[in-house]
Each structure stands twice: as C-alpha cells, then as structure tokens.
Structure 1
C-alpha cells in the first residue's frame, strides 16, 4: 500500500435514527456504509428511535450499535458531533420524525441529533432528512421548506417501482442507495434507471 493511500482520511458520515416508522432505513444505511471502504460511521439514536427499532426489527440493540464505528448517546450534547470543528462529510436522519424535522427547522438543538443537524447546516455540509409521515399538514410542509431553504435535503423514502422490486428489502435498498448517491459516495451495486424498456 502506498504512503498516499495510508494517509487518506476516511469519509465520516453521521447517521441518526429518530422515532418515526421506518427504522429499517437507518439500519440498512449503516449496513451499506459499513461495507464501503474508506467510510466511517457515527451513530446516535433518539429514545423513541430505540423504541421503534425494538418494535419494527428483530435485532438486538447491541447488534445495531455494532454496525457503527462510533456510538453517541442522544443526550450527550457535548459530544464531538455537537461542534463544527468535528470534520465530517454528511449526515442522514433515517428515518426523520416530524418532531425532529420541526426541531431542525427551528434550530432548537435540544438533543445530539438536532444539534448535529444544526452544525451541518451552519457549516454548509450535506444534511439529508428521510422524513416519514403522511398525510402532511401545513406545519410539516413549512418545516420542510425551512430546512430546504437552509440547504438541507428533504428525502421522503418513497419506493420506486420501475425496477420491479420483489420484496420490501429491495425497495429499501433502492431508496438507501439513492441516499448514498447524495452523500457523494461511490457504490457499485446500485440499480439505475437505464431508460424505458422497448415494447
């Protein structure tokens, strides 16, 4: 291995899981990032996020924690993620509850998830919110607009059917692959639109 390769810093990605349905998205994102060379993941999960992970997935907490390189308690607002001096390349809240969206939109920074998101916005770094709610009321829409105006990306995990998915797992993989693209990370196994199939 060359000296240049040794000195390349890993891409740091913050993954946050909040208390909306769709915990599988956050876990699958961690799994995909873990399998990529040169990527380091930093995970924080809200209290409601842990409840949803327990409700929706048959995975022990320790198994989920082991997917990340570094784990932070959500109430540790003094953690490294809370400072703009912490160098990272992007953050994804997967899934993002409407409560977390509102806190980010209004700069509340009342836990490590919302503080880290605030840091991403103020430092002009990539922030992706996989918002999960339907139908949407006016407060939700206005909060999404506010985050978009500040530079964040609103990414509802809407399934695509043009690849003819055969399972929920395939739909989740397609959505999470799109998020990985938005993080600017190279991936080789993503299915991409190649145009209409000839009749």
Structure 2
C-alpha cells in the first residue's frame, strides 16, 4: 500500500464547484491523504463564475494534477492504487459517460477504472429536476457499485451559513471514505420535546 491514501477528485461543469474546492481544502490539511485533481473545461468556467477562481487557484489545492486529455496518466490504470474517486460536482454529461463506459477523457476513464477495480466512486450529481435519462444513468452507476450523492443540504444540525451546509455535505462524503474530520456535528438523536 502507498504511504499516502490517494483520492481522485474531479470538478466538472455542473453548479456547485464549492463542493470540490472545499473537499480539496480539507484534504490538503489531512495527514496521510494525497489528492489527484482533474478539472473539466466547463468546471473551470464554473470555478470562475461561482467562486472567482481560475484553474491555477484550484490546482494549488491539490497534491497532484492531471489534464483530462492525458488518457495515459497514472490514474487511468487499475494498477495505480487509490482509495477511490469523488466527482464534485458531477455534471449530467459526466454521469452519462460513466454510466455508459465512455472513457473519452481522463475523468470518465478514471471513474471507469475506479468501478472496474471495485473502489469507491462517489458522484455528487447536480441537476434539478431530473429527467428519465438522468435517473436511468444514476441507476446504472448504482448497479455498477457507484454511489450517487446529490449534495442536498441537511438542516437537523441547524446550519447558520452556506459554509455550514457545504461542510456538512463534504463531511458526509469524507465519511464514505472513513476519513476523520470535524466539519459537522454528529447526529445524537432527537431531543425530547417534553
């Protein structure tokens, strides 16, 4: 096993770039984690539109970066060890490519490798409402072992800001990889109303 646990993070062209950025920020300071970043061209547009960030800004948060055009990158092979992959956010185009095994760029190829190696793949799909093609693609990915994780905010922890809601969602994604964090309070049951 590698000295650091590798986690592949992809940011695609759906709204919600903040989820990928926050995930990278948290993992950058997490001992024993090595992040491998992929950003689609549409993802770069969203980073600029939503967060006033450019490609270099977000790449600075990752340990290793890859061009989505480099289909021969290390993460394109199942022999390259990783804990899995998170696509945050995941566009419907990327979802469809993964669901149908279209490894036409490194994001889709790395996701395909993650599935074929039976590693954890988390797709933070961002679209609303869903049409039937979206739902069928989500079903296909789930049947292949992927996890569909729409970044829907929870309110039981009484968030006071958008940052609280983002941290709660990112924390739940980290839980899926058993990565310790203190981003959000744990559920301790409903308080008695008596």
TM-score (norm 2): 0.96
Distance across 1 between alignment mates of 2:187 and 2:29: 23
Distance across 2 between alignment mates of 1:183 and 1:112: 22
DSSP 3-state at the match of 1:190: coil
The runs of 5 or more residues in structure 1 that have no matched partner are 1-6
Residues matched between the structures, number: 193
Deviations 1:63-111 (A, max 9, x none): 2111000000111111111111110001000000000000000000110
The residue number in structure 1 matching 2:90 is 96
Regions of 4+ moved over 6 Å: none
Deviation at 1:8, TM superposition (A): 6.7
The residue number in structure 2 matching 1:186 is 180
Pick from 23, 29, 41 the counterpart of residue 47 of structure 1.
41
Deviation at 1:52, TM superposition (A): 0.6
Deviation at 1:128, TM superposition (A): 0.2
Distance across 2 between alignment mates of 1:26 and 1:48: 14
DSSP 3-state at the match of 2:128: coil
Counterparts of 1:35-184 in structure 2 under 5 Å? 35-184=29-178
The runs of 5 or more residues in structure 2 that have no matched partner are none
DSSP 3-state at the match of 2:66: strand
Deviation at 1:61, TM superposition (A): 3.0
Deviation at 1:192, TM superposition (A): 1.1
Pick from 18, 22, 43 the counterpart of residue 24 of structure 1.
18
Deviation at 1:183, TM superposition (A): 1.2
Deviation at 1:185, TM superposition (A): 1.2
Deviation at 1:165, TM superposition (A): 0.5
CA RMSD of aligned residues (A): 1.2
TM-score (norm 1): 0.94
Distance across 1 between alignment mates of 2:183 and 2:124: 21
Distance across 2 between alignment mates of 1:16 and 1:169: 20
Deviation at 1:29, TM superposition (A): 0.4
Deviation at 1:188, TM superposition (A): 3.6
